[in-house]
Structure 1
């Protein structure tokens, strides 16, 4: 007789086939909120306010840039154009802002604002119409602003995308949502594995609960003050630190090793990274949002297909609580939803950067994207680079600027730049993995978490 998990999987797969047929009949064009589009759009949506203080122009080549700021289709924006504009535009996609109600655009990070302007590029950034984990809003607002730029300034020759974290998710989906519109993408620390990020957060908490013998899912209101402390004590996680990451508890080591495998596999700095992120990964499972996927994205997560490794000393695969996605339609839909899929069909060159030790958006996001892209025969369009650092979006101006320059050369001259192999476990586990594109000056200066890794 089939197991209960098998029966659940069959029902899910059947529902997925039915959903795919329904979506195919209905078409895949994203729905727009008619009220949003039919108003003049000069005010934020109800419940939001805007913070967009004046941005001082920069002097580039002896001349001041031109800065324009305003509100377009309910999103605040900044546009900056150098006097010697080369005719190309860079759209900057910001990261996750939480569930705050203040909308604010930002300038490109890692000194890219200065670099872009000195090279003759204009840039533009949207606040998006909503905060939260709402990718749909970011995709639409970024495209709306790119169209608006053509009316404010002129139609650009080429339009690039660059951004961080959730902005990388927006880039990955935008390249598929609008084929041929964008000419290149630079996602950094991006959520390129879409729903697999949510699965990773779920896996961490359910595996920890199974190993500690503390069942607490769905997470109760006192999860962080009651269940989590008991889990941490049972697994011996309370005394470790990035500089002293050794765990003496067998079950604690099993959780660490499961987390390493689920986040990209054995790789340099993995133990120190676990020590940095172990507490945060409990907190990320608790939200105070509403019922939409953008407010409570965990409803899309599942571990029905997860095989945990290592599976001893505790048989986690037999004892872990199995969770199906609450919102199956959102999980399977190919349409532009609040938390959509990235199929792996980029339509322009992509250069991505990712920190090896990041567990907020783990390195496995790059591996998921590489697999999806290869499945669709588009690996030639993607170059990925590993950076030896453990925080989220921990890049230097040299690392980001080099990636940008290489992307531009690729788009304009057709020369595909070098990258790192991300899907070969032996390559990723090598002691010098990530050295090729990591800024060695940052290591020498002891910047951030660089010294948690060996010198290259």
Structure 2
């Protein structure tokens, strides 16, 4: 079922379309009068099940003005963690809009946050339906890694900082998750009042790959560990625990149970692999705490086990193989509080192991926030993907200098402030196959 929205957008002469797929998912599309033949297949992040075809209104308008068409679906569930249906719904939306306005000359998948994982999965299943992919702030390491490292940090707070154990998995309803969020926030807030508490917050933050810049115009200095921990604490009590524990019921619903475990984790090995290990060690020394003892306690008392059926479900629906079918560019803010940049390290290695390394490029924005991109930064990345499709080569278009120059050449409101910078993503603490959790799928 397809219906034009009626009124075209005056500034671009574009037409809006919408429809419903057979499984109940809805889709929306915007097609400009001067369509250049490229369709953006946009995959939205973890949010309400509402169809979206662009990351935000400003980017939509800039893309329409440049002649791009866009389409995206709501997904159909069964929960907000909609990975079991998202790829099919996205391809269904693409097919529906193609029947309505004509087949595109080229289709580029563009995913944001959880939608970055959707687009990475589309890349594996391209089969001629997409030509290239751009993931932005993508959850490309997948659900099993996400749940595991988040649980590690939550467990550290429950075991080392909370006056009583906090229920962290197997939630019967959203109220139990909300109670866990409240308890994690309270324990973290109370702990911030003492040097010992701050050291243990830093440990929990390292286990969840929490960056050390959350607010303000610049990151704390590389050895200003007290300021780094203060930023991490604000992020955990802010978006952190509310999203980590708060979203778990939806993922458990999709998986059919709890997919993550603390049992068997070597927490000393996990911390050793963290880019924040020096911060943790310094704060423990200043507080007069025995870090080895705390790590041994966490390892000894870890007793949360995963449901094998839930693990199998998420392995099938929500994890990447790394076998790419088309070229892909990933961009990520270096200081992303909700989907840490370390996910790019895990994903890049997965892609290289699968033999697809020549198809993948990754670029980084020196900024804080989740999906906190400027339109010029993302459109410059889109043009880099187009260069690869036009020439068959990446050349140097994904280097920071070239991406910043490409953003400047767009002459958008934010073109002169693009923030691409040289960066190598560190290892994902607590990830599958990583130190401390060395088993793989």
Determine the structure 2 residue equivalent to 1:109.
56
Q: What's the counterpart of residue 322 of structure 1?
A: 302
In 1: Cα distance, 2:295 partner to 2:416 partner: 43
Matched residue, 1:140: 88
Instruction: Report the equivalent of 1:378.
Output: 356
Aligned Cα RMSD in Å?
A: 3.7
1:294 CA displacement: 4.6
Give me the whole-angstrom Cα distance separating, in 2, the residues matched to 1:289 and 1:254. 23
- Change in Cα spacing, 1:79 to 1:93, as seen in structure 2 (3 Å) is same
- Number of the residue aligned with 1:92: 42
Post-superposition Cα deviations, 1:123-168, rounded to whole Å, max 9, x if no partner, equal 2121122350111222111011112223112222321111211111
* 2:117 is the alignment partner of 1:158: no
Kindly tell me: are residues 80 and 138 of structure 1, through their superposed partners in 2, closer, same or farther at Cα, counting changes over 3 Å? same
Instruction: Give the match for residue 278 of structure 1.
Output: 236
Equivalent in the alignment of 2:205: 259
Normalised to the residue count of structure 1, the TM-score between the two structures is 0.69
Q: 1:110, 1:373 → 2: CA distance?
A: 32
Structure 1 position 363, deviation (Å): 0.9
Shift in alpha-carbon separation, 1:332–1:305, aligned structure 2, 3 A: farther
- Displacement, 1:288? 8.1
Q: Is the 8 A contact 1:67 1:80 kept in 2?
A: yes
SS, match of residue 398 in structure 1: helix
> How far is the alpha carbon of 1:369 from its aligned partner?
0.7
CA deviations on 1:353-374 (whole Å, 9 max, x unpaired) are: 1112212111111111111111
Higher percent of residues as helix = 2
Contact 2:211-2:337 at 8 Å conserved across structures? no
SS across alignment from 1:132: coil
CA distance in 1, matches of 2:323, 2:7: 36
Q: 5+ residue gaps in structure 1?
A: 1-40, 44-51, 239-247, 421-433, 448-456
User: What is the DSSP-based 3-state SS (H/G/I as helix, E as strand, rest coil) of the residue aligned with 1:356?
Assistant: strand
- Secondary structure of the 2:337 match is coil
What TM-score comes out, normalization by structure 2 length? 0.71
- Does the 8 Å contact 1:69/1:78 carry over to 2? yes
Quote the offset at 1:406 in angstroms: 0.9
Residue in structure 2 matched with residue 232 of structure 1 by the alignment: 189
Report the number of matched residues: 367
Q: CA deviation at 1:314?
A: 4.9
**1:199–1:301 CA contact under 8 A, matched in 2:** yes
Counterpart residue number, 1:409 = 387
Structure 2 gaps, min length 5? 214-218, 221-227, 272-276, 282-289, 420-441
Q: 1:76 aligns with which of 22, 26, 45?
A: 26
Please say if residues 8 and 15 of structure 2, whose CA atoms lie closer than 8 Å, have aligned partners that are also in contact: no
What secondary structure does 2:129 align onto? coil
Q: Alpha-carbon deviations, 1:32-78, whole Å to 9, x = none?
A: xxxxxxxxx789xxxxxxxx977742544xxx223222222222222
The equivalences for 1:191-230 within 5 A come to: 191-194=139-142, 195-212=144-161, 214=163, 215-218=165-168, 221=176, 222-226=179-183, 228-230=185-187
CA distance in 2, matches of 1:334, 1:205: 21
Tell me whether 1:119 sits opposite 2:78 in the alignment.
Answer: no
Cα gap change, 1:323/1:124 in structure 2, threshold over 3 Å: closer, same or farther? farther
